Amino acid sequence: MTLKNEEILDLLSGMEAESKAIKEEVIRICWYMRGGINYDQAMMLSKTEREIVAKLIKENLETTKNTKLPFF
């Protein structure tokens, strides 16, 4: 595959943005899990697993909100 310099820069820029988004998602998961999973473990999760954990966190936040139980 042959790419022009601009195309390579665009590709690298996209990869950098995706990498940052994954790191932010993993750090958010670690924060919500309150020590239940550390950063290294969370980084080993697949995209599907991160989506499942994020869904669980969202559901638990909604439950906490609806039941008016303390969260923080």
Rounded mean pLDDT for each run of 10 residues along the chain, 72 residues in total: 92 97 97 94 97 95 91 70
pLDDT at 72: 66
pLDDT at 27: 97
Per-residue DSSP letter, 19: H
> Global pTM?
0.81
